[in-house]
Amino acid sequence: MTKKLHCLSAIELNRAFIEGQIRAVDIAAYFLDRIRIHNPKLGAFLSILAERALIQAEAVDLKRSQGKPLGRLAGVPIAIKDNMHILNEITTCGSKFLKNYRAPFDATAVHLMEQEDALILGKTNLDEFAMGSSNENSAFFPAHNPWNVKYVPGGSSGGSAAAIGARLSLLATGSDTGGSIRQPAGLCGVVGFKPTYGRVSRFGLVAFGSSLDQIGPITTTVADAALAMEVIGRHCPQDSTSLPLPPESYLDTLNNTNMSEITFGVPWHFLENLAPESRSNFSNSLDVLKGLGAKIIDIDLDICKYAIAIYYILATAEASTNLARFDGIRYGERSGQAKTLDDVYELSREEGFGAEVKKRIMLGTYVLSAGYQDAYYKKAQKVRTLVIRSFERAYDRCDAVLLPASPSTAFPLHSIHDPIQMYMQDIFTIPANLAGLPAISVPSGFDNNGLPFGLQFIGPRMHDVPVMQYAHAYEMATLYTRKIAPAFEEP
């Protein structure tokens, strides 16, 4: 190999392995070494599965030597967000509550990738139970932005985005409840794709907001995200929300779009408070798309100004229900101070959950309580329906909606203390979750401090393939995905 392995895409590395240019054990060793060198200052991984990765690599090498068919991800190093189960490995969800919890089964997405001969390197950092926008809510340590380690990588999939941004892995999984794939992907200068709700199985994902959660890939290129979706975008009978549809072809159709036939909608009124530097980057991105022949029109998505309020009613209500299972009885930590059954419940949760998780559980319990369910929860569900209808009207006039991935580039660690200001980091990503739409963030340039921006494409339900095509066309016209954070360019 003449090119450094971390400078390759997942597709390029897979091809090099299949052609016999490199062994899988050498690939695993190379990336494990990068993790050993760089993770202490990056905090991207909570656990490193070196032995597992090397055993898998040896098995894949043996398959190749015997001339057996190789999987779509043969030789590709991947990282798994630590709220997804890997059989017999620890799943912490970034929480002290589950620091010793060993998964009894594989998440469907993990199983599908291992079936395709992927090399799992480890579990990545996240905000506790995926609740956060900066990865500062991890119970263990924060992850850092590879473009400047004094800044946040975004959240909640901050560890996965940081790992890809620093090229400690070439493919990672994330989960997206309100933007937790796209926002950190945007802040770390990588690609993050949230599929249509139900396109990827949630079986084996520790639930936060069940009507919002979706697993998706974080990668260095759109083509790599397309490859990942061809592997994990399959119906799963163990997930009642999994769409009973056949797999789609992403890679073969990436270049099939004539951009001169595409119309993008921009909700300018919704973006009226966008900061000047972010607005300039967004406008430049629109100019790129116009240069490709696309038409840009103004659309009305003003209802989305209520997205944060709706989300923090619905998501917290679902979280309070989902997290009720963590009671110190069935699994997870049990308080050593407990003397009665009530003590076990109360003290285990008091000692096990972090401040942000407690805040959301309390809020969710409140909005579901007697006397308040109609005023808050049911009303939020009605406004969610209005958001869905607003997008449907927009798609009568355009093929996809364009938004920034976040209101700004990454911010310094521990610099936001107002919870509302932190929640507003997801203002442009939450609408796609409320409506169950496919959306992707693609790198779109850098600010004056060298921190990345992300551009977001949001398509109608089940238009995952076209959304990927639009993002790929933009990527090919800009090539921002070729850039690697300077501190991590060398092995």
Query: Cα 193 vs. chain centroid, distance in angstroms?
Result: 7
Concerning whether 81 is annotated as a catalytic residue, the answer is yes
Give me the amino acid identity at 439.
A
What are the residue ranges of helices labelled H in 108-245? 108-115, 158-165, 182-188, 222-232
- Which of 81, 157, 242, 441 is the catalytic position? 81
- Which of 156, 175, 285, 390 is the catalytic position? 156
Concerning whether 240 is annotated as a catalytic residue, the answer is no
Query: Cα 431 vs. chain centroid, distance in angstroms?
Result: 15
CA–CA separation, 258 and 363 (whole Å): 47
CA–CA separation, 18 and 36 (whole Å): 26
Query: Cα 373 vs. chain centroid, distance in angstroms?
Result: 30
**Residue 99 CB coordination number (10 Å):** 17
| All residues at 6 or more sequence positions from 158 whose CB lies less than 8 Å from its CB, including other chains | 125, 126, 127, 134, 135, 142, 143, 152, 184
- How long, in residues, is the chain? 491
Please give the helix or strand (H or E) that residue 124 lies within, else none.
strand 119-124
> Which of 266, 283, 285 lies closest to 480 in space, CA to CA?
285
Q: Mapping DSSP to helix (H, G, I), strand (E, B) and coil, where does residue 216 land? A: strand
> Which of 479, 480, 436, 454 lies closest to 194 in space, CA to CA?
436
- Which of 133, 160, 180, 406 is the catalytic position? 180
User: 66 vs 60, 69, 70, 193, CA distance in Å?
Assistant: 10, 9, 10, 35
Concerning whether 390 is annotated as a catalytic residue, the answer is no
Q: Which class for 197: exposed (0-12), middle (13-18), buried (19 or more C-beta within 10 A)?
A: buried
Q: Which class for 335: exposed (0-12), middle (13-18), buried (19 or more C-beta within 10 A)?
A: middle
- Per DSSP, 265 falls in state E
User: 473 vs 173, 256, 442, CA distance in Å?
Assistant: 23, 10, 11
Q: Which residues pair with 475 in a beta bridge?
A: none
Q: What is the DSSP string of 45-102?
A: EEEE-HHHHHHHHHHHHHHHHTT----TTTT-EEEEETTB--TTSB--TT-GGGTT-B
User: Catalytic residue positions?
Assistant: 81, 156, 180
